[in-house]
Amino acid sequence: MNVITFLSDFGLTDGYVGSVKGAIFSNFPQARIIDITHEIKPFQIEEAAYTLTSYYSFYPRDTVHLTVVDPGVGGKRAPLIIKTANYYFVGPDNGLFSYIFQKEAYTAFEIDTNMFDSKISATFHGRDIFAPVAAKLARGVKPELIAHPFTEKPVDFAKHISDKQQEFKARIISIDRFGNIITDFSMFEYDAQSTKRVKSITINNQTLKTIKRTYSDVENGDLLALWGSAGFLEISINRGNAAENLNCHIGDDKISIKFESSK
């Protein structure tokens, strides 16, 4: 398999995306690079983590998912390869893979930067480290040959629900072009809590008592909560912009989800 997906906050104004692709093709001319988006808001690691988990599993086995949102570039965070049963993930250890860890068993490797012949820029590891590594993995090189086992626990900012928890303070991790507010409250974790159900969801003093199945379950202009296609709770307005209406922004921690016993 020679597919590499590429997600970043680089935008398309500068030459950063082109430089990364050049580094990939220099190491593996047969690579098939799939641009996911380069419009992640600058430095928004959580938004990138959510976007990554929304698409990675739809790709063929052995796809390499290159993800570069790296505000700590050149610092102490480790450059990682994450290997799961079906995929490789390449990027910095800053939380980008948090939602992957919720869903997948994995092995983490720290990239051996001593293997590179050319000088590594302190400010562009996407081009000088992650791109060549993604190319090598797509070419069939085993991670053990270019990295060593990562002995620390990778950064994981996902909040986990405890059995006794009665309230979850959800963060906004993304806002899509329709104004839907995507939170870090995942169906994956919620389903694991078989003894509780959602009692209410409150945002900006507006309370919702039920999670709907689809937008059209309410009238045009009405507020609702539903599970989005990636399995995360969304706050939406049917044919409206919830983020603008509720004055919400990525990173806000203003959504309260209360639970009650299901027994």
**Are 65 and 5 a contacting pair, CB within 8 Å?**
yes
The pLDDT-based confidence of 263 (bands split at 50, 70, 90) is: low
Which tens digits make up the pLDDT trace of 197-244?
A: 899 999 998 999 999 999 999 999 999 999 999 999 999 999 999 999
Predicted confidence (pLDDT) per residue in 27-54, tens digit: 999 999 999 999 999 999 999 999 999 9
Q: Are 174 and 236 in contact (CB under 8 A)?
A: no
SS3 labels along 203-261: ECCEEECCCECCHHHCCCCCEEEEECCCCEEEEEECCECHHHHHCCCCCCCCEEEEEEE
- Of 200, 196, 201, the closest CA to residue 165 belongs to 196
Contacts 24+ apart (CB under 8 A), 113-122: 113/79, 115/146, 122/73, 122/74
User: Would you kindly state where each structural domain of the chain is located, as residue ranges?
Assistant: 3-149, 167-261
In this prediction, residues 55-83 reach a mean pLDDT of 97
pTM of the model: 0.93
pLDDT exceeds 90 at position 118: no
**Is domain 3-149 classified as CATH 3.40.50.720?**
no
DSSP 8-state symbol, 93: S
CA dist 183 and 220 (Å) reads 22
Asked if the model's pLDDT at residue 163 lies above 90, the reply is: no
Tell me which architecture the domain covering 167-261 has in CATH.
Answer: Beta Barrel (2.40)
Question: Average per-residue pLDDT in the chain?
Answer: 94
